[in-house]
Amino acid sequence: MPAQTDRSRADRPRARHPRGRLAAAAAAVALASGAAAGLPSAALAAPAAESTAAADTAPASGTKPAFSFAVIGDTPYGAAAAADFPSHVAQLNADASLDFVIHVGDIKNGSTVCSDAYFAQIRADFDAFTHPLVYTPGDNEWTDCHRANNGAYNPLERLAKIREVFFNTPGKTLGATMPVTSQAGLGVPENVSFTRNRVAFAAINVPGSNNASQPWAGLGKTAETPEQAAEVRSRTAADLAEVRQTFAQARQRHDRTVVISQQADMFDPTYTPTPEDISAFTPLVQALVDEASAFDGEVYLFNGDSHVYNSDRPLAAGSTWLARYGVRGATDNLTRVTVDGSSNATDYLKVDVAADGAGGKGEPVLSFRRVPFTQ
């Protein structure tokens, strides 16, 4: 019998990739240098409203980046991937050009147990990062833990455990310490923001399963419970406050770019969603339209969830996503990037940030390419 899917809809076929066996960290470090060049780059697709091109962006020729970071997500999925994950961490550690790493959530697949022991295992893996690690939770580690094959947990209890295990020191990243501004005062310590070289970053807890609003069927629920609805409202309010404050501060500082990271793919191009799939994302989509359109610079949204690398502009004028969400306005300056995940998590996305003053002259502030994991 096939494993239960991560969503209420059936998964589409995914490309399968062979996985190597766990190797010593030293071997991973040695092999990492061979992957530094990354996968072949291509020009970013034209800014059409719904381009589904999965092309990497080409960095400006002859220009040294101001800094670089990596984005990963939907990993590790399953026992084999969990065994490989330490070697992936070692390869990321070996990339000395990285200033930090972002994990956009889903530290397990949707059909395995959400146990304390597993959380502790992943926390130990995260502690091995020698770069600062910014992690935002995904639905598989809390929202969907009501499923019988996940242990039939109360998702709100699992969210509390995630916060206890991974966000026990608010205001500091995992891995190497980097100070961040946390919403711990609002009870959402996983929502953080920081800035570097006139680029504003925010990571927000926006999971799949319709922003955690789908019924807890594994606990016998057929509709959203009052306590579930209250959590969605309070967390969404914190998410919106984080987004709005990040943009307000970016405008005040005259930042070049705003980068938002979250788990949910609110614009998955591989299926046609129903309101039950996406309706709870609407306030955030409207906030992104409002804030990005009022920002004189580039905006990027990095997410996981749908597992297949993609870059597009889902909120540009003419996009069908605007009508699906029923939002007002449009914005052409937001680029959404989905990172590879699940069986496709065989690479990390390396993002180079142009030196201050280099962007805006025919070159983007951010350019990115996939770098293969070498085992």
Q: Report DSSP letters for 15-30, one per residue.
A: -----PPP--HHHHHH
Residue 253: CB atoms within 10 A of its CB come to 11
pLDDT band at 291 (very low <50, low <70, confident <90, very high): very high
Tell me the longest C-alpha to C-alpha distance in the chain: 59
pLDDT band at 63 (very low <50, low <70, confident <90, very high): confident
Which pLDDT score is estimated for 59?
A: 55
Work out whether strand 298-303 and strand 257-261 pair parallel, antiparallel, or are unpaired.
parallel
The whole-angstrom separation of Cα 68 and Cα 96 is 10
| For residue 76, cis peptide bond before it (omega within 30 degrees of 0) | yes
* pLDDT beyond 60 at 52: no
The whole-angstrom separation of Cα 213 and Cα 223 is 9
C-alpha dihedral (271, 272, 274, 278), degrees to nearest 10: 70
Average pLDDT, the chain: 87
* pLDDT beyond 70 at 371: yes
Mean pLDDT within 156-181: 98
Which pLDDT score is estimated for 40?
A: 38
- Can you list the domains of the chain with their CATH numbers? 50-372 (3.60.21.10)
47-56, 80-89, 316-325 — which is least confidently predicted?
47-56
Count Cα neighbours of 318 within 13 Å in the Cβ-side half-sphere: 7
Contact residues for 109 (Cβ-Cβ < 8 A; gap 6+): 3, 6, 77, 78, 140, 342
Mean pLDDT within 113-121: 98
The whole-angstrom separation of Cα 142 and Cα 243 is 22
Coil/strand/helix, residue 229: helix
Place of tokens 């969210």: 159
- Contact 247/291 with Cβ under 8 angstroms? yes
Mean pLDDT within 270-293: 97
User: Which position has the higher pLDDT, 19 or 96?
Assistant: 96
Mean pLDDT within 341-365: 86
* pLDDT beyond 90 at 4: no
* pLDDT beyond 50 at 184: yes
Mean pLDDT within 238-242: 98
